[in-house]
Structure 1
Amino acid sequence: MRVFVTGASGWIGSATVDELLASGHEVLGLVRSDAAAAALIAKGAQAHRGDLDDLFSLRKGAAETDGVVHLANKHDWANPAESDRAERAAVEAMLDALAGTDRPFVIANALSGIVEGRSVVETDPSPAIGPGSDRGGSENLALEAAVRRVRSAVVRFAPSVHGRGDWGFVTFLADAARKHGVSGYIGVGSTAWSAVHRTDAASLIRLAIERAPAGSRLHAVAEESLTTKAIAEALGEALNLPVTSIDPADAAEHFGVVAHFFATTMTAESAITRKLLGWKPTGPGLIEDIMSGAYTN
């Protein structure tokens, strides 16, 4: 299968490219720079120049391949409305190119905001509907394309997709610990996150592009619930720093942009995903990754 991957040089995208190539697939990766193109070509993939605002390029990449893995996002924290607008327009463009083909379209989403008070399960629909909603309602937009003969599936990622070289949430927490000389958690540290190793997330994406049924919701979750206090304690031990509670009123100053997420429980189950696709996570857990030194440099 020849697969078009947006976000091909990103944290999850680069691991997905490796996984697809190792499994015998060809990859056409969306890139914005010469350096990213060179890195893709060195792996044995092909580079496709463009970005999320270049809708012609996105349609062309989707039309010329056997399926799409859409992982790119602007992640413009200062202007989320712009990120949402760009996401919806990009998804619409690629779905238009795939309509009527029965080709797969795998799209990324987060677990946050889907339900409150319990772990998210795969049967929970996203409440984000329409252009003005989170991520432009792209999850529902993609899943609805099943009636247009697109084999669409969504992969919802745990808040921590971890591993050596991670630049996500846990890296922000480690940076805050180094900056302030303490590894902190908010309040009593009872909020919790799910987690998945980067290589396990990539293997799930490959399985999804290969055989996920149209309309599937899949959860890239290996560990369902780790308390934020346990994460802070592991970081403290790995960084040789004391561990302390941070007053919720001081969380934004201490943790920066990640404070809101660290104060929010974001957990999910993945039993349906595992049974549907035979996905078996094998990578290290988040605490093990932290203790092995993945976040000490």
Structure 2
Amino acid sequence: MHVFITGASGWIGSAVVDDLLASGHAVTGLARSDASAAALDAKGAAVRRGDLDDLDALRAGAEEADGVIHLANKHDWADMAGTNATERAAAQAIGDALVDTGKPFLLASGLAGLTDGRAATEDDASPFRGPDSPRGGTENLLLDFADRGVGSVALRFSPTTHGTGDYGFVATLCQIARDRGVSGYPGDGRNRWAAVHVADAARMVVLGLEKAPAGTRLHAVAEEGVPSRVIAEAIGRAFDLPVAAIPADRVGEHFGWIGGFFAMDMAASNAATRELLGWTPTGPTLIEDIDGGAYGDGQ
């Protein structure tokens, strides 16, 4: 299959490109910079220059491919409205290009806000709909395209897709701990984050491309939920730092922009995904990665 992928040189996307190529697929990656283009070319992937604001490039990439994996996101935490608007426009452009083709369209989504007090399942619909909602409501936009002849598949990634080289949320928490001189956790530390190793997430995406029917929600989840206190304790061990509870009224001050996110409970099941795809995560756990030096150490 010829696959067009956005976010192809990112943390998750680069692992997906590797798995796609190893599985015998041809890949065209969207590249904004010369460095990204060179990295894709070195792997044997084709390159389409452009970015998420270049809707013509997105449409052309979708039209020329047999399937699309949309992983890119601006992640501009200082302008979430702008980020969400861009994501909405990009998903709309790709979906419109795929109407009545039956081609698979896989789109990155998340687990935030799905459930309260229990692990989310693949049957739990996203409550976010419309352009002004988180991520521009793109998961529901995507799934609406399933009724228009598009092979829509939602990829719900764990809040931490971890591994050596990760520069995402856990890396941010590590840096905050080093800057503050203490590894903190919000409140009583019982809120949980689902977790998955990046190689397992990439394998799930490729299996989803190959096997998932239109209208499917997939959970890139290996561990159902790791308590925030356990995460903070591992970071404390890695950097030889004390560990402390951060009261709810100080979470924003202590953690900055990531504070509200770190305080959320985002546990999720992977049972339906594993059964549908025959997918079995085999990578290290989040704590094994932190303890093993994936995020550096205090030496």
TM-score if structure 2 supplies the norm length?
A: 0.97
- Match of 1:292, as an amino acid? G
Q: Report the secondary structure of 1:117's partner residue.
A: coil
State the match for 2:24 in structure 1.
Answer: 24
1:99-178 superposed matches below 5 A: 99-178=99-178
Deviation at 1:75, TM superposition (A): 1.3
Deviation at 1:246, TM superposition (A): 1.6
Q: What residue ranges of structure 1 are gaps of 5+ in the alignment?
A: none
State the match for 2:227 in structure 1.
Answer: 227
1:51-130 superposed matches below 5 A: 51-130=51-130
Q: Are the equivalent residues in 2 in contact too, given 1:172–1:255 (CA < 8 A)?
A: no
1:44 aligns with 2:18: no
Cα distance in 2, alignment partners of residues 7 and 269 from structure 1: 26
Q: CA RMSD in A?
A: 1.0
Q: Report the secondary structure of 1:77's partner residue.
A: coil
Deviation at 1:261, TM superposition (A): 1.0
TM-score if structure 1 supplies the norm length?
A: 0.98
Q: Report the secondary structure of 2:78's partner residue.
A: coil
State the match for 2:247 in structure 1.
Answer: 247
Deviations 1:192-221 (A, max 9, x none): 111000011100110111111000001000
Cα distance in 1, alignment partners of residues 186 and 113 from structure 2: 20
Deviations 1:113-138 (A, max 9, x none): 12222111100111111222221211
Q: Are the equivalent residues in 2 in contact too, given 1:158–1:220 (CA < 8 A)?
A: yes
Deviation at 1:250, TM superposition (A): 2.1
Q: What residue ranges of structure 2 are gaps of 5+ in the alignment?
A: none
Deviations 1:263-282 (A, max 9, x none): 11111101000001111101
State the match for 1:290 in structure 2.
Answer: 290
Deviation at 1:86, TM superposition (A): 1.0
Cα distance in 1, alignment partners of residues 186 and 116 from structure 2: 19
Structure 1 stretch displaced more, 132-141 or 207-216: 132-141
State the match for 2:5 in structure 1.
Answer: 5
Deviations 1:38-74 (A, max 9, x none): 0000011011111111110000000001100000111
Deviation at 1:253, TM superposition (A): 2.3
Deviations 1:148-169 (A, max 9, x none): 1111100101101000111111
The percent of aligned pairs where both chains have the same amino acid is 59
Moved over 3 A (4+): none
